[in-house]
Each structure stands twice: as structure tokens, then as C-alpha cells.
Amino acid sequence: MTLEDLGYNPDLEKFRKSQQLENFQVGRVISEHKERYGVRTTDKEYDAEIIGNLRFSAHQRADFPAVGDWVAISEYDQDKALIHKVFPRKTIIERQAVGKLGEKQIIASNIDYAFIVQAVDRDFNINRIERYLTICNTSNVKPIILLNKIDLIDNVKLSNLIRQVKERIQKIPVIAISNETKNGIAALKNKMEKGKTYCLLGSSGVGKSTLLNTLSGKEIMQTNAISTSTKKGRHITSHRELIILDNGAILIDNPGMREIGITDATAGIEKTFKRILDLSKSCKFKDCTHTTETGCAILQAVEQGEIDTDSYENYQKMEREKEHFESTVAEKRKKDKDFGKLIKHYKKSKKH
Ligand code: GDP
Ligand code: ZN
């Protein structure tokens, strides 16, 4: 295996030279478990941990390695290595860290493309696709929409759905597939690029694990088949979270990826709804809420059919959720601060 097979590129090599890292080996993080990292090199897979220095200077979780990262390592035992440096990340998929509001946790890095998977049977929802698109925009990951389970509907219904999606979402590839009949799978495999890294986004039950198995030709992920009634994914994740497919494409799938949801989407609203925002500059009032105001350029555009009503409503909804989310973070910060004061006060009073 070459480093290029793992996704290595000239930019990374340039960085390595500029940082005098020639004496280290280069590898890619393929799994993470409690601050131990599986690192794949051209000829080996190491069980690695970060050097004390790196740990010492790590101020937040984002400073620690993540699946998809490129790292400089040194071997200290047969299959053991130390991570000395994390290479700069080209893209980052992150979410709110659990338990620590406002702090970000990296789910995976250096992903080129995201498959946004939607099942065409139940729960088909273009708003949801738009939300995942926003995540892609925020992270600079290129989206590809996959409509899965097309074996469950007829061709007329399918072309209707595709038309609906394309009307709302322009310039983004849409591929219809079925894991059952394998329709569209060859086309999908053909479209995937060698040495590029992909991930799967989508709600539980849309068929991500099944697709991973279909693409790899192996039973890598246990699918939802037994637990569909609970609608919860009960996945037994294999150790490896980064795999190389026969077509040379690289796929990252880890538990965190599956929890990516709406709260992560906030920062990207601007990009996805750029047109709406551009228009808002022409609103009569500076603090226009774009709901009832006369002279609102957005409402005018909606009326004239220039902006889709659904997109407008989705935009409003996301703005509200963003506001809610931000106020929760602010509240949490205040509580922490007050609690800090209380502790201080308590300590002071104990001294006397
Ligand atoms: P995940 O939660 O997104 O990983 O979804 P799973 O891969 O576990 O799939 C959920 C259920 O959908 C399972 O029962 C799969 O067998 C089923 N499924 C997946 N892909 C297809 C498909 O293309 N057609 C049909 N009919 N069922 C599918
Ligand atoms: Zn307005």
C-alpha cells in the first residue's frame, strides 16, 4: 500500500518537508478509542498514543488526533508508535461536544465527499437533506445526495422525487440506488474517486450500514435489520473506522458520524441560504425579521415565486433553532459562572 492509497497528497508532503518531519513515519488515523489511535502506514497498522508534549499543549479536544488525520509517528515497539504531530486538516466534521456546551468535538477530518443518504419510502424529507447540506457547507465537504431503497417505489414516484429534490437543490449530484436490487450501485462506484475520502450522513434506518457492506462487499457493519422496530441503530462497529474500497475510494464511518444533527448546522446557514441573505440586504428595515414587514425583500421574492416557500420556511425554522441553541449556550455559560462564584465564596468562608 502507498500513502496515496490512503489519501496522501502533495500539500501534505509539502507540510512534512516544511516542518522537518522527514525522520518520522507518516500515517493516517483509522480508529480512535479512549486516546489510543489506530494509525495505518504504508506497511503496518500501529497502536499509537500522543507524546506527552503534544498532550501538554493540547488545550481543547480539537487539538487531539481524530479519525482521518494525518500524523507524524515514531515506532517504539513492534506495533506501537508515538504520535508527534497532527498535520493541518483540510476539512473537519464536528459536533457539539457532549457535556460541554460550546466546545466542539471533531468527528472526522480530511473528508472530501459526504454521501447524504435518504430513504425514498418513509420519512422522505427534503428539509432534512438541506440540513445535511448545511453541515457539508460548514465543513467544506462536497455533498452527493443518495436516494436509497428505490426498490420500494415505482419509477413514476421515483422520477417525481428526483424532480422535487433537483428543483429545491441545484448543482448537487443526485444518485438513486438500492441495496436490495443493486440498482445504481455500479454507477455510484464509478463516480467515486480513487484516493478521495468519503463519509455517510443520514438518519438512522436509511441504509448507511447496508450501503457500506454493499460497497465493500463485506459484512463490515451489522445492520439495523433486527432493531428497526425501535428505530434506533444498534451497531456493532468494527475496530476500523476508515476503510479502503476496491475502487480505491476511502470511506470513513464511525459512531460520532451517526449523531451528526441539526445543532451542528448553525454556522452554515449563511452559505446554504445565500440567496435569501443576499436579498435581506435590500429589506427596508435593518432589523427586518422577514416575517410580516412591509418592504421586506425576501417576502417579496417568496410572493413572486422567486424563492421557494419551503426553502423560506426551512430558513425561518433553522434561524429559530439557531437562536434557541445560542441562548442555551449563553445560559449554560452564565450558570457555570455563577457556580464558580458560589464555590469561591464557599472556599472563602471556610477559611474563617
Ligand atoms: P442505517 O441505520 O442507516 O445504517 O440503516 P441500515 O443499513 O441498518 O438499514 C436499515 C434497514 O433498511 C435494514 O433493515 C436494511 O436491510 C434496510 N435496507 C437498507 N437498504 C435497503 C434498500 O436498498 N432497500 C430495502 N428495501 N431495504 C433496505
Ligand atoms: Zn426582510
From atom 19 of ligand 1, which residue's Cα is the shortest distance away?
A: 207
Closest CA to 169 of 126, 124, 118, 116: 126
Ligand nearest to the CA of 276: 2
Which bound ligand lies closest to the C-alpha atom of 316? 2
User: Can you say whether the dihedral through the CA atoms of 112, 3, 209, 255 is positive or negative?
Assistant: negative
pLDDT digits (tens, 9 = 90+) for 54-106: 888 877 777 899 999 999 999 999 999 999 999 999 999 987 665 555 667 78
The alpha carbon of 210 and the centre of ligand 1 are apart by a number of angstroms equal to 6
- What is the model's pLDDT at position 352? 56
Split at pLDDT 50, 70, 90, the class of 316 is confident
- Closest alpha carbon to 32 in 69, 59, 1: 69
* Mean pLDDT in residue range 260-269: 51
Does residue 322 register a pLDDT over 70?
no
Report whether residue 225 contacts ligand 1, using a CB cutoff of 6 Å.
yes
**Is pLDDT above 70 for 201?**
yes
Spatial distance between the Cα atoms of 251 and 270, rounded to a whole number of angstroms: 28
Of all protein residues, the one whose alpha carbon is nearest to atom 10 of ligand 1 is 205
Q: Which ligand neighbours the alpha carbon of 152 most closely? A: 1
Closest CA to 246 of 189, 200, 207: 189
| CB 40 near ligand 1, within 6 Å | no
Tell whether pTM > 0.85: no
Ligand 1: distance of its center to the CA of 204 in Å? 9
pLDDT tens digits along 211-223 = 999 998 876 655 5
Q: What is the pLDDT of residue 230?
A: 36
Distance between Cα 211 and ligand 1 center (Å): 8
Q: Please tell me if the CB atom of residue 203 comes closer than 6 angstroms to any atom of ligand 1.
A: no
Q: Is the CB of 179 under 6 A from ligand 1?
A: yes
Ligand 1 pocket test, pick from 201, 223, 235 with the greatest ligand atom count within 8 Å of Cβ, gives: 223
Is any ligand 1 atom within 6 A of the Cβ of residue 233? yes
Say how many Å lie between the CA of residue 319 and the centre of ligand 2.
13
Residue 214 beta carbon below 6 angstroms from any ligand 1 atom: no
pLDDT, tens digit (0-9, with 9 covering 90-100), for 226-256: 333 333 333 333 367 889 999 999 999 887 7
Return the residue matching grid coordinates 459512531: 255
- Of the pLDDT bands very low, low, confident and very high (cuts 50, 70, 90), residue 272 is low
Q: Where do the structural domains in the chain lie, given as residue ranges?
A: 4-86, 92-253, 266-338
The Å distance, Cα 207 to ligand 1 centre, comes to 4
Residue 145: φ, ψ to 5°: -90, 130
Q: Whose CA is nearest to atom 13 of ligand 1?
A: 225
Residue 226 pLDDT: 39
Long-range contacts of 160-163 (CB under 8 A, 24+ apart): 161/120, 161/124
Residue 164 Cα to ligand 1 middle (Å): 23
Q: Which of 177, 185, 204, 224 to mutate to test the pocket of ligand 1 (most atoms within 8 A of CB)?
A: 224
Q: Which CATH class is domain 266-338?
A: mainly alpha
Residue type, 212: L
Q: Which atom of ligand 1 is nearest to the CA of 177?
A: 23
CATH fold of 92-253: Rossmann fold (3.40.50)
Amino acid 271: pLDDT:
52
Q: Pick the atom of ligand 1 nearest to 117's CA.
A: 3
Identify the residue with better confidence: 111 or 56: 111
Burial degree of 131 (CB within 10 A; 0-12, 13-18, 19+): buried
Does the C-beta of 134 come closer than 6 Å to ligand 1? no
Which pLDDT belongs to residue 331? 67
What pLDDT does 15 receive?
96
Query: Is the CB of residue 96 below 6 angstroms from any atom belonging to ligand 1?
Result: no
The superfamily CATH assigns to domain 4-86 is Nucleic acid-binding proteins (2.40.50.140)
Return the pLDDT at 166. Answer: 93
Q: Tell me, what DSSP letter sits at residue 140?
A: T
Per-residue confidence at 313, pLDDT binned at 50, 70, 90? confident
Nearest listed ligand to the Cα of residue 228: 1
> Could you tell me if 110 and 69 are in contact, meaning their C-beta atoms sit under 8 angstroms apart?
yes
